[in-house]
Structure 1
Amino acid sequence: MMASEPIDDVVAWSNTQVPWRQDCLRRLAIANDLSESDEAELLGMIKHAAGFTLAETPPTADPFTKAHFSGGSHIPIVLKGIANIAGVNRLVANASLDFCPKALTIVYGRNGSGKSGFVRILRTACRTRIESAATLKVLADVYGDGKGALSADIMIDAGAGDVPIAWSPGMAAAPQLGQVAVFDTASAQLYVDGGNKIRYLPFGLALPHRLNGVCLSFKAALEAEQKTAVGTKISLATVTFLTIRETAAQKFNRTVTKATTDAAIAKASAFSEVDDARLTEVTGILSAGSTAAADMTNLVSWVDTLAIECATAETGLSDEALAAAAALKSTAVSAREAAKLAAGALFDDEPLAGVSSESWRKLWRAARDYSVTEAYPERAFPVLPADAAGADCVLCQQPLLPDGAARMQRFQAYMDDTLDTAATTAEQAVVDAISALPAFKQLTAADFAERVEQIRSRDTGLADALTTFQASVIARHAEAKARLVGGAENDMPAMASATEAVKALATKLADEKAELIKASDAEQRLKLESEKAELEDRKILNANAAKLITRRDLMVTDAAYTKALALVATTGITKRANELLDIHLTSAVVSQFDAERERFEIKHLKIGLARKSGQTKAEFEVNPQTTLTKITSQILSEGEQRALALAGFLTEVALTDGSGPIIVDDPVSSLDRERSAKVADRIAEEAGKRQVVVFTHDMVFFNELCRAADEVGIDPVTVVLFSDLDAAGKVDPAGMGWKGLNVAKRISNIKNRFAPMPKLHATSPADYEYAIKGLYGRLRDTYERVVEEVIFCDIVRRGTDVVQTQMLRYVTLPDTLAVRFHEGMSRANTHSHDNPASDTVPVPRPEEFQAHIAELEQLIADFKAAKDLAEAARPQMKPKK
């Protein structure tokens, strides 16, 4: 491509963009350790393709340094909640949930309470393994009109306060929410069968994949530009030859490269008028030589004959000849009219009209011929009675009477008359002229058009002239005949002469015939054919010289792109990335996965992880390690599948770059109670590292999760959802149901409910009595829960089949504490039961109830102290881990 004629599609590389692209490519060149000459060649090709001169000074290289590889990790977020929900499932209008910004949030609700509606929104907005649009689809209320738009606000805090992220179905995911991982039943199946895929790697190991991402973006941009700038244009600029052969022109065409110069193209495609004349000459010789001698002789004979016919036509059908034909016919007509006038005066008295007419004269001639040949041979016609006895009429074959004989004599006298003889002679001249019209066998032959095409290969002008001449001859021939038979005279276009041109062709053909004799020599013919091929291909190359230049310029541009694409190749980076993964991460992933499986007691399953890496990410997929099937869900029970999915999810979470929030929906579905407790322990442990939100309908699991959280020092925030006939997703302002509260939360709940009691005691003793009676019932329930949780250390819990026998060593029940427990429990029973109307049991005053609560709290503290003393008294025992 000439510097003054840059390809339009490459202009994008020019102007202000080129220095930037050159700088990027120089950096890639340095990163890939290209030699200075390779780098200079690449930049030179880019400049050449963009129309720059190679004399320009390239920008100073900026080698990669450690600063270029700085972290740049994402800003951690806190998931604050979801609000302003509209149109989703049966969720109440403007439904919302608030999440604990730290540690653990437990959202409890029975089936149909609306938990899934919240989770469906979150899994479409956050990170999930589900990629099916149908599975991720969020529906409106199927029992409503479904006309309203679906929307919600997801509240996050990235360090600058609460920020709402608007959500609607199908919207592009917000980058910040990519830190939030969601696990539910649908994604669990993917973890089992689809594999556990770690999408984010620690920065150091993610760098090669990120570099691949940069290279791929460069590659995509370069390939798009290359497609626009080059694409199929090189093939479109290819010179097409009719026959593939080893001529100099075709060899040059095949060897054109980006280095081919304009001078070389001009030299290889040079073709002058002299060359063109020689090509025509050689073509004619070989064309003639390829025709059999007999065919050439036949062609020469035909042309010679055609020349004679042309000459005949030019004289016999000239304007003068046509005028003569018309005059001849006019003379015959005039002579006959004169004879008719004479006959009219002679035969007016005959009995029949029409004597002397053409038909009558035919009848007379027929009678005469019959008489002299058959009736009266060798006798002059007409034979009259005076000439021969018994002479009969040759027409009626009756004896001629005197009147008939006289009439026959008059008729004969008329036929011998000078006027009739002249007319007859003139008419015969017309007949003879018609018969004498030339036939023009060649000009009217069926193969005339084919013959003309043979001439056309030698002389196009003559072929066209002959075609016109033929049409003129046919028209004039018809006109001549028409004039001779008495037709109307038509004006005829002038007839151009073709005789001399045909004679010249005949001479030329004679010369070709002589050349044919020369070309019959095999060696001489090969030389002529070779010369003809060279001339033909060079003529084609000359006509397509502009294509050669265009193709060369496109090759220059394409080479620049190819060089640039080689610099952004990802094969080496991917290989190195996989090596680093195997060294630094694969063992960590497998170890983490094994640890998670061991926590859930599924280590016995022959399930492992196998690394599967791509260009921009590393994946660790579940490997069932069996030849029976590759579908893990067909091997494992539902409980084992759920445990395996949780292990995969938590492995990913543990090794994910950053510590983003996680959302877990129904984690213990299909799990037995023992594994449910282990899941609760694991989630509580994870809540110590990151924000965790759990949705569950399982009250026992809820209690297990609260217990596990308490053991690791976390006070979980609980939210209770419920539904009614109108809608779902309603938040119970009272919080968690009483059965789900542990001792501490029950005491807290009682204290909160007691807060208005002193005021109520002063304003309405009856209402106070009713309310305080209920609080004593709650206090009694709390004493009962103290038995499970405090005295017997949750060794056996209602609603579970787990017995923690190792906790027996912490059980102690000193007599004093047993008495105090009995007294407190009795008091709670007394004031919560229906007492006699005689008022023998007075209603405790507010300060008394406060004292009773304080006594319970102190009792719990003393029980814990007693346990510590008992444990200290047996130092030889070590707790099992």
Structure 2
Amino acid sequence: MKEPIDDIEAWSQKLSPWRQDALRRLAISDQLTDNDFADLMAMIKDEAGFKLETPAPSAVPFNKSHFGGANRTPVTLKKISNVQNVNRLAANAELEFCPNALTVVYGRNGSGKSGFVRILRTACRTRVENPAKLKVLSDVYGGGTDPQSANIIIDTGNGETPIPWTTGMTAAPELSQISVFDTLSAQIYVDSGNQIRYLPFGLALPHRLNGACLKLKENFDAERETTVGNKVSLTTIMFPIQRETKSQLFDKALNKDSSDNAIEVAATFSTADQERLDEVIAILSASAAAVADLTSLIGWVQAVASECEIAATAFSDSALTGFTTLWKSAVTARQTAQLSASALFTDEPLPGVGSESWRALWAAARDYSVKEAYVGADFPVTEAASCVLCQQPLLPAGTERMQRFKNYIDDTLDVAAAKAEKAVSDAADTLPALTHLSADGFSERVEQIRQRDPKLADALSCFQVSATQRREEAAARLTGDDSAPVSALVSPHAELKELARNLGDEKDKRVKAGEAQERERLASEKAELEDKKILAANREKLVTRRDLLETDAAFEKASAELQTTGITRRANELVDSHLTNAVVTRFDDERGRFDIMHLKVGLSRKSGQTKAEFEVDPQTKLTKVTSEILSEGEQRALALAGFLTEVALTEGSGPIIVDDPVSSLDRDRSARVAERLAEEACQRQVIVFTHDIIFFNELCGAAENKGIEPVTIALFGDKEAAGKIDPAGMIWKGLNVSKRIGKLKNDFAPLPKLLTTSPADYEYQVKNLYGRLRDTYERVVEEVIFRDIVRRGTDVIKTQELRYVTLSDALAIRFHEGMTRANTYSHDNPASDTVGIPQPDDFTADIAALEKLVADLQAASKSAEAARPQMKPKKY
């Protein structure tokens, strides 16, 4: 089968020069620099026809010799230090990792494991891309406002390098080789597929070329926006009248190919052109003025005719009589209301109730009451209230009086009087204004009419005087004064309308009269000259627009060069040819390791422009995501299979960080995960966080079986903070026999000196050590004698390990004697001192005896296995 790089080299020969050069640069380096992008943009501009100030660099065709494979510098995660304001982690918290093989971080719930994982999850590579999900909180109980920060220490072969971390920061490229798996990303592996972010075997090149194209397109779009943007619209030439002149047609047809000469010819307006324009305007203006005067006169005559007709009706004899009657009705209604008030209020202390001034006083008092004194209450307020005028408490007589006044105001007679007065006011407001009859130019217009109809001019003048007089009389009658005589009112509006029709006919004749074709020709010539003059005044706009259109067309051509469809298609073909089978095979292998092959789940490729993605396919017609079909444990096992497939097929062998990998898993699969992670630790740096002590022991045991000495760290939290490292090391339950013996030796080292200063403290502490010695003897039974065939807390039985099990009488006696001594000194003894306090030499001898017993048990186990005949499975 061909190597992928051979296929890429053959395919590249069909690409444009700049694309070949981009492939060459991408093959040499993971990421293009700003200078690389500037060079590539210059090459594209050269191909697209830009006018470059400096020559574009020469493109170098891609060939296989340029491809050096993955030059990625291996990264080792050394530690996290100087943690500040992250969750409940202690200030300046620090966590150091084994630079190779396996680090196991154990801690109970709330010990701070998640805080460290969240820092690494935001800084390193994770499938979680939602910023809200990646947000790292400060101590919600502490109330601190200091910024969140930490240092992530890595080693790329040149010593330790600190990378400052803050929440929300852009991830450092060096940390992209470190992969993080936790509960949050597990859901994405199940439902979103296994995404290969760094494709192996050179397959990344087409995807990286797509990425370069997209970045270049972004750069070109930004430059296009700055260079062209909406500037074309700013070169629009505003012609007062839109018409089909040569100048306007040239303006509309202007494009990137318009020559300087064409613009020069179209936008030249000479002195002779200006003289001809002035001549044509003079010719057309002579008759145009007459038509304009007629048009204006017609409009005035029509307006005056309408005004005369309105005035004849509004100021007629019957109308004037009506105004007098209207005013008298209002006076009578008010007098009637006042007489009613006089009859009603004869016994009031003061006269004039119901008069005009009294009613004004009542209205003012009402406004004061409802707006200020008793806001929101109906006027008058009489219960437990004060008078709004004298502001003294209202007595019963005053309350009754105010109620009588209110009843009067609400009475029908007063309401009718107010309505009649309102009718008089409305009539005065609606009297016609006689705008045209009283205008300053009225006399001049009458003289224009007199030239055509003297009798009509006299009639209009008389009507103007009579109408003005009658309007003044109408206003007077609405106030009660009707003593002035009025002249007769005869409106000439019918004659005026007839004149307007005649004037219209005259105008039409003037327009149609004379040399119509010649006037049309002159008007067309005038339009051409006017628009040419405008075009000449905006010649620079034409040149600027042509240049902008030329540049925009070049950008359009460059943009077409940056299409990624063909690259994406070829990239997918290469992935299918060289990788898809490897991904699916690896995924199935990982599923087999976790005993989930019974699940009808597979992978299907779903590639994008810049990456290849393999989506989990639940292989069901139901429109459900995988997480809605599988159990919690199956989801976790499937997610781990996806994660391990991804890291196995990505470039390099960067560290992996796994948080709580056995959540919801049964003990059988938990042991499988431990074995698989131990195996992975032989290939790369592996860091595991767990709160499961059984899994911790399984993982450490699996690592030791692989010849790896795992580094273990115990975290704990208290009321003050979390993320504290237990200086004593791993909790006792997490220590195997060898480490327990080592810890017993370390803890015993200061006791001989303590015996000389405080025998009581010595007795207390040595008794505790013998209790731990007894625990170690019990663990020897499980771990050494029975080879972890059956372990407490698990349901796994390793039956094939039975070939190692043996226990001679001599070894059994030694075990019994050692266990007896441990029990004797660890149990509570009688106060009669029948059992003495063990001396330092006694404890040293007991430890040595245990060490020798373990070594002999292991040797006997190996001898027993070697002495047994090789067992072969029977065939049935």
- Normalised to the residue count of structure 2, the TM-score between the two structures is 0.65
1:675 match: secondary structure: helix
CA separation of 1:518 and 1:613: change in aligned 2, threshold 3 A: same
2:211 match: secondary structure: helix
Alignment of 1:637-676 (within 5 A): 637-676=631-670
2:605 match: secondary structure: strand
CA separation of 1:68 and 1:543: change in aligned 2, threshold 3 A: farther
Hey, what does 1:696 align to over in structure 2?
Answer: 690
- Report if aligned partners of 1:222, 1:561 keep a CA contact under 8 Å in 2: yes
Hey, what does 1:863 align to over in structure 2?
Answer: 860
Q: Is 1:221 paired with 2:219?
A: yes
Alignment of 1:797-816 (within 5 A): 797-816=791-810
Hey, what does 2:565 align to over in structure 1?
Answer: 571
1:105 to 78, 103, 106: 103
Alignment of 1:281-296 (within 5 A): none
Hey, what does 2:46 align to over in structure 1?
Answer: 43
CA separation of 1:686 and 1:238: change in aligned 2, threshold 3 A: same
- Report if aligned partners of 2:697, 2:734 keep a CA contact under 8 Å in 1: yes
1:263 to 261, 264, 285: 261
* Whole-angstrom CA distance in 2 between matches of 1:29 and 1:278: 63
Hey, what does 1:619 align to over in structure 2?
Answer: 613
2:140 to 142, 146, 154: 142
Shift of 1:703: 1.3
* Whole-angstrom CA distance in 2 between matches of 1:587 and 1:553: 54
- Residue 172 of structure 2 aligns with an amino acid whose one-letter code is A
CA separation of 1:805 and 1:532: change in aligned 2, threshold 3 A: farther
Question: How high is the sequence identity, in percent, across the aligned residues?
Answer: 60
Alignment of 1:677-826 (within 5 A): 677-756=671-750, 771-826=765-820
- Report if aligned partners of 1:180, 1:660 keep a CA contact under 8 Å in 2: yes
* Whole-angstrom CA distance in 2 between matches of 1:576 and 1:174: 30
* Whole-angstrom CA distance in 1 between matches of 2:635 and 2:297: 98
* Whole-angstrom CA distance in 1 between matches of 2:134 and 2:536: 64
2:597 match: secondary structure: coil
* Whole-angstrom CA distance in 1 between matches of 2:600 and 2:530: 75
CA separation of 1:242 and 1:868: change in aligned 2, threshold 3 A: farther
Hey, what does 2:113 align to over in structure 1?
Answer: 115
Shift of 1:838: 5.5
* Whole-angstrom CA distance in 1 between matches of 2:688 and 2:23: 48
1:648 match: secondary structure: helix
* Whole-angstrom CA distance in 1 between matches of 2:511 and 2:825: 144
2:202 match: secondary structure: helix
Shift of 1:232: 2.0
Describe the superposition over 1:578-634 as per-residue Cα deviations: whole angstroms up to 9, x where unpaired: 222222222222222222222222233333333332222222233333343343322
1:86 to 60, 84, 87: 84
* Whole-angstrom CA distance in 1 between matches of 2:751 and 2:871: 48
Hey, what does 2:338 align to over in structure 1?
Answer: none
Shift of 1:785: 1.9
- Report if aligned partners of 1:288, 1:516 keep a CA contact under 8 Å in 2: no
Structure 2, unaligned runs of 5 or more: 1-14, 25-41, 299-441, 453-505
Shift of 1:556: 2.4
Shift of 1:282: 7.3
Relative to structure 2, which stretch is displaced further, 192-201 or 439-448?
439-448
* Whole-angstrom CA distance in 1 between matches of 2:691 and 2:159: 32
- Report if aligned partners of 1:25, 1:564 keep a CA contact under 8 Å in 2: no
Q: Is 1:132 paired with 2:130?
A: yes
2:541 match: secondary structure: helix
* Whole-angstrom CA distance in 2 between matches of 1:133 and 1:747: 48
* Whole-angstrom CA distance in 1 between matches of 2:71 and 2:135: 31
2:194 match: secondary structure: coil
1:215 match: secondary structure: helix
Hey, what does 1:192 align to over in structure 2?
Answer: 190
- Residue 105 of structure 2 aligns with an amino acid whose one-letter code is V
- Residue 574 of structure 1 aligns with an amino acid whose one-letter code is T
1:701 match: secondary structure: helix
Relative to structure 2, which stretch is displaced further, 713-722 or 170-179?
170-179
Shift of 1:799: 0.7
Relative to structure 2, which stretch is displaced further, 701-710 or 212-221?
212-221
* Whole-angstrom CA distance in 2 between matches of 1:119 and 1:446: 104
* Whole-angstrom CA distance in 2 between matches of 1:45 and 1:775: 83
1:613 match: secondary structure: coil
CA separation of 1:70 and 1:532: change in aligned 2, threshold 3 A: farther
Shift of 1:263: 0.8
Shift of 1:99: 1.2
Shift of 1:675: 1.7
2:604 match: secondary structure: strand
CA separation of 1:610 and 1:243: change in aligned 2, threshold 3 A: farther
Describe the superposition over 1:240-290 as per-residue Cα deviations: whole angstroms up to 9, x where unpaired: 667777654455444433332111112234445655666677789999999
| Backbone CA RMSD of aligned residues | 4.3
* Whole-angstrom CA distance in 2 between matches of 1:536 and 1:794: 105
Alignment of 1:258-657 (within 5 A): 258-272=256-270, 299=294, 440-441=444-445, 516-519=513-516, 538-657=532-651
Describe the superposition over 1:293-351 as per-residue Cα deviations: whole angstroms up to 9, x where unpaired: xx969949989xxxxxxxxxxxxxxxxxxxxxxxxxxxxxxxxxxxxxxxxxxxxxxxx
* Whole-angstrom CA distance in 2 between matches of 1:519 and 1:259: 41
* Whole-angstrom CA distance in 2 between matches of 1:670 and 1:791: 31
2:606 match: secondary structure: strand
- Report if aligned partners of 2:153, 2:163 keep a CA contact under 8 Å in 1: yes
* Whole-angstrom CA distance in 2 between matches of 1:801 and 1:813: 24
1:868 match: secondary structure: helix
1:197 match: secondary structure: strand
- Report if aligned partners of 1:75, 1:158 keep a CA contact under 8 Å in 2: yes
- Report if aligned partners of 1:80, 1:157 keep a CA contact under 8 Å in 2: yes
CA separation of 1:870 and 1:140: change in aligned 2, threshold 3 A: same
CA separation of 1:178 and 1:447: change in aligned 2, threshold 3 A: farther
* Whole-angstrom CA distance in 2 between matches of 1:638 and 1:288: 97
CA separation of 1:632 and 1:740: change in aligned 2, threshold 3 A: same
Shift of 1:852: 0.6
Relative to structure 2, which stretch is displaced further, 138-147 or 762-771?
762-771
Hey, what does 2:93 align to over in structure 1?
Answer: 95
Bigger radius of gyration, 1 or 2?
1
* Whole-angstrom CA distance in 2 between matches of 1:690 and 1:603: 26
* Whole-angstrom CA distance in 1 between matches of 2:528 and 2:212: 52
Hey, what does 2:403 align to over in structure 1?
Answer: none
Describe the superposition over 1:33-91 as per-residue Cα deviations: whole angstroms up to 9, x where unpaired: 9xxxxx999638766365x8xxxx77655444556544463322221222222333332
* Whole-angstrom CA distance in 2 between matches of 1:126 and 1:804: 38
- Normalised to the residue count of structure 1, the TM-score between the two structures is 0.65
CA separation of 1:196 and 1:31: change in aligned 2, threshold 3 A: closer
- Residue 638 of structure 2 aligns with an amino acid whose one-letter code is L
- Residue 201 of structure 1 aligns with an amino acid whose one-letter code is L
Hey, what does 1:853 align to over in structure 2?
Answer: 850
Shift of 1:688: 1.5
* Whole-angstrom CA distance in 1 between matches of 2:673 and 2:639: 12
- Residue 853 of structure 1 aligns with an amino acid whose one-letter code is L
* Whole-angstrom CA distance in 1 between matches of 2:203 and 2:698: 38
Describe the superposition over 1:629-665 as per-residue Cα deviations: whole angstroms up to 9, x where unpaired: 3433222222222222222222222222222222222
